[in-house]
Amino acid sequence: MVQVAAAAGISAETLRKIETGRAPTPSFFTVAALATVLGISLDTLATISHAEEPPLSTPA
């Protein structure tokens, strides 16, 4: 965790907060830096994130 956080330019505590949900909305730049360090493209990340969202309800 410490190595990933350092490579992304954030503190280990910030990464810990993101992982545990205590930082529910990390900045785009933080997410992008973590994705880069972890070898995940932003396109892949967006696809995964979108797939996990609940469908929008439509008005009746």
Residues 6+ apart with CB under 8 A from 54: none
Domain count, the chain: 1
* Residue 12 placed within a domain: yes
Which CATH number is 31's domain given?
A: 1.10.260.40
pTM attached to this predicted model: 0.76
pLDDT of 1-53, one tens digit each?
999 999 999 999 999 999 999 998 999 999 999 999 999 999 998 888 877 66
How many other CB atoms are there within 10 angstroms of residue 10's CB atom? 20
What residue numbers bound the domain in which 46 lies?
2-52
What is the secondary structure of 14-52 as a DSSP string? Answer: HHHHHHHTSSSS--HHHHHHHHHHHT--HHHHHHHHHHH
